[in-house]
Amino acid sequence: AASSGGLVAYADSGADNASEPSQEAPKKKKVVVLGTGWAGTSFLKDLDCSKYEVKVISPRNYFAFTPLLPSVTCGTVEARSIVEPIRRMLEKKKKDVTFYEAECFKIDALKKAVHCRSAVGTNLDGNGDFMVKYDYLVVALGATVNTFNTPGVMENCYFLKEVEDAQKIRRNVIDCFEKASLPNISEEEKRKILHFVIIGGGPTGVEFAAELHDFLVEDLVKIYPAIQDFVKITIIQSGDHILNMFDQRIAAFAESKFMRDGIEVNTGFRVVKVSDDLITMKSKSLGEVSVPYGMAVWSAGIGTRPVIMDFMHQIGQTNRRVLATNEWLRVRECDGIYAIGDCSSITQRKIMDDISTIFKMADKDNSGTLTLKEINDVLEDICIRYPQVELYMKTMHMLDIRDLIKDAIGDSHKESMVVDIEEFKNALSHVDSQVKSVPATAQVAAQQGHYLAECFNKMDQCKEHPEGPLRMTGTGSERHNFRPFRYKHLGQFAPLGGEQAAAELPGDWVSMGHSTQWLWYSVYASKQVSWRTRMLVVSDWTRRFIFGRDSSR
């Protein structure tokens, strides 16, 4: 099939081309989905479940709306309000979709099966292990916390990844206040107990710090007036600025707001050790410093789940943190396995690796040179296959391909703009520097789930060229195949507390302050997965406005 279709570029993507052994077999293919987070549920929502036999496996029988997890830590929003039972979501499909509440501990790509373990014993011998076979596997297992093997972190820090984590944090924050209110506690001891340290100045850490500060000034000072002066919130960030994935203006805004709020921001410090009452950090200029603390929340990056690590070893993807997929989200070197969300990343093919083939394809008259028309005829396909071309032209402020070529061959050199292979190579030689990886966010995970579901829904129409978008050899109307996945960034919020937020919107738009917080409320209300959770979240917000947060543990 590879020879009939497109470029060499697709040579590695042909696994699904394998012709089916028997055409008449009406049996539906088995699709197994691992994980019910952002990626998994978005895939399931859009999948046409009548075409497949679908099995879903996850140790949690709900979907959690993670962007509101920081709000759960201080009781602004209740945990129950941000979760949606997975069985309710599946019921809406009105199709037979099976759900197993279990953890997958091994993916066997050779036998095309996954091995799972349920917390409840299901077998006669009392263990809960079972095996599920698949024809297509969708891996959407997300990521786990990453301590970078820093001593003491696992034992002494809180994390903010799952719903249970947020609930634990909430209980412990209140515990700290109650502990500090007990008699016979020295001032020094109070200061220590009420020192809240957040390690990691990314969006999650910053939002948690802001929530905690609001909780403190809006609710706790009233009910713990005796100890309010002992409270301190510190953020430790290894980089030069907090929120460094955002626009600089947002980072500066957040830092100055935190300074006014009395939240200490220690930038340029790396935490090297956490004991049960001291955090040790290191900076280039100051060396090692240890500070006493009462509660530490670690939010400094994401790591690989053991089952993914094991699978990567199995298929030879070693020395990686996440599964490598091609641009159609299929795991490289695997048959029928796809990976979406935080557990995977796309390896974008370089245009320079395919440059000779592209040249040959474009050179319809075999003249050994390309005219502008010949280039223009294939340009759209090139841009679909290699998004870096468009990105490059955008960053260099080029309007069209002509500029790119002029740049390479020199303006005056050729009026007619005919290029040979060397000049063509030259023109595109810097383009691959614009290859960008997509971030580990809910937005990406959801878009990937949606995209993959569309591919699965159209899979039968695409048997011929399942993964090749180029129409260089066919005519436009023959193109049934899928375009590679393309991420569309819709913007990003950073709630900063005190009813203020910052947002980065498409087109280099930056917005900060109180009105942005209202935008945040409306966006996050509208993004809820069901009317039920939307109502719960909005009524939690309203309750908080009127009565404040609930401070019982």
**Contacting positions for ligand FAD (CB under 6 A):** 34-40, 57-60, 66-67, 69-70, 103-104, 140-142, 160-161, 204, 305, 307, 341-343, 440-443, 445
| Residue whose CB is less far from Mg ion, 52 or 359 | 359
Query: What is the SS3 assignment for 34-82?
Result: ECCCHHHHHHHHHCCCCCEEEEEEECCCEEECHHHHHHHCCCCCCHHHH
Q: Give the residue with the Cβ less far from ligand FAD, 36 or 172.
A: 36
Q: For ligand FAD, which is the closer residue by CB, 375 or 502?
A: 502
Nearest distance in Å: CB 487, ligand FAD? 11
Q: Quick count: other Cβ atoms within 10 Å of Cβ 321?
A: 15
Report what 104 binds from ligand FAD, Mg ion, none; CB cut-off 5-8 Å by kind: ligand FAD
Interaction pattern, residues 122-141, with Mg ion; x per rule: CB under 5 A: ------------------x-
Binding mask 345-384 for Mg ion (x = CB under 5 A): ------------------x-x-x-----------------
3 state SS of 223: helix
Least separation in angstroms between residue 140's CB and ligand FAD is: 5
Q: Does 341 contact Mg ion by CB under 5 A? A: yes
Nearer to ligand FAD, 137 or 536 (CB): 137
Residue 233's binding partner among Mg ion, ligand FAD, none (Cβ under 5 to 8 angstroms by kind) is: none
Q: Is 40 in the site for Mg ion (CB under 5 A)?
A: yes
**Cα 144 from Cα 65, distance rounded (Å):** 16
Integer Rg of the chain from CA: 27
Nearer to ligand FAD by Cβ, of 165 and 354: the residue is: 165
The distance of closest approach from Cβ of residue 368 to Mg ion in the complex, given in angstroms and rounded to an integer, is 7
Residues contacting residue 215 through CB under 8 Å, at least 6 positions apart: 74, 75, 76, 173, 549
Q: What is the DSSP letter of 348?
A: P
Task: Please report how close the Cβ of residue 97 comes to Mg ion at its closest, in angstroms.
Answer: 15
Backbone angles phi, psi at 363, to 5 degrees: -80, 75
Report how far residue 367's alpha carbon sits from residue 95's, in angstroms, rounded to the nearest whole number: 57
User: Smaller CB distance to ligand FAD: residue 387 or 449?
Assistant: 449
Beta strands 492-497 and 144-145: pairing type? unpaired
Residue 39 binding Mg ion, by CB under 5 A: yes
What minimum distance in Å lies between the beta carbon of 284 and Mg ion?
A: 35
Shortest distance, position 162 Cβ to ligand FAD, whole Å: 8
- Smallest separation (angstroms) from Mg ion to the CB of 365: 5
Residue 295 near which of Mg ion, ligand FAD, none (CB within 5-8 Å, type-dependent): none
Q: How many Å apart are CA 536 and CA 76, to the nearest integer?
A: 12
Minimum CB distance to ligand FAD smaller for 117 or for 282: 117
Rounded CA gap, 355 and 369, in Å? 13
With CB atoms as reference, the residue minimizing the distance to Mg ion is: 341
Q: Select the residue interacting with Mg ion from 10, 38, 386, 456 (CB under 5 A).
A: 38
Q: How far is the CB of 294 from ligand FAD (least distance, A)?
A: 21
**Residue range at the interface with Mg ion (CB under 5 A); choices 111-119, 167-175, 198-206, 340-348:** 340-348
Asked if 524 and 442 count as a contact pair (C-beta separation under 8 A), the reply is no
The H or E element containing residue 266 is: strand 264-267
Q: Are 118 and 130 in contact, with CB atoms under 8 Å apart?
A: yes
Shortest distance (Å) from residue 20 CB to ligand FAD: 29
Nearer to ligand FAD, 67 or 469 (CB): 67
* Separation of alpha carbons 511 and 516, rounded Å: 6
Check residue 98 and report its DSSP letter.
Answer: E
CB of residue 119 to ligand FAD, shortest distance in Å: 12
Q: Specify whether the CB–CB gap between 94 and 114 falls below 8 A.
A: no
Of 40 and 75, which CB lies nearer to Mg ion in the complex structure?
Answer: 40
142 binds Mg ion (CB under 5 A): yes
Binding partner of 365, given ligand FAD, Mg ion, none, CB within 5-8 angstroms per partner class? Mg ion
Residue 389 phi, psi dihedral angles, 5° rounding:
-65, -50
Nearest residue (beta carbon) to ligand FAD: 37
Q: How far is the CB of 352 from Mg ion (least distance, A)?
A: 21
Which residue, 40, 27, 4, is CA-closest to 450?
A: 40
- Taking the complex as a whole, the smallest distance from the CB of residue 378 to ligand FAD amounts, in Å, to 35
Are 501 and 494 in contact, with CB atoms under 8 Å apart?
Answer: yes
Complete DSSP assignment for 327-344: TTSBBTT-SSEEE-GGGE
With CB cut-offs between 5 and 8 Å by kind, which of Mg ion, ligand FAD, none does residue 107 bind? none
Contacts of 538 (CB under 8 A, 6+ apart): 525
By CB under 5 A, tell whether 37 contacts Mg ion.
Answer: yes
The gap from C-alpha 232 to its chain's centroid, in whole angstroms, comes to 31
End-to-end CA separation in angstroms for the chain: 63
Q: For residues 211 and 374, which CB has a smaller minimum distance to Mg ion in the complex?
A: 374
Helix axes 38-46, 442-457, angle to 10 degrees: 30
> What are 195's two structure tokens?
């020192």
Touching Mg ion, residues 45-84 (CB under 5 A): 64, 66
Identify which of 344, 347, 298, 346 has the alpha carbon closest to the alpha carbon of residue 321.
344
Q: Under the criterion CB under 5 A, does residue 290 sit at the interface with Mg ion?
A: no
Partner that binds at residue 363, options ligand FAD, Mg ion, none, CB closer than 5 to 8 Å by kind: Mg ion
Residues of this chain that bind Mg ion (CB under 5 A): 35, 37-40, 64, 66, 140, 142, 341-343, 363, 365, 367
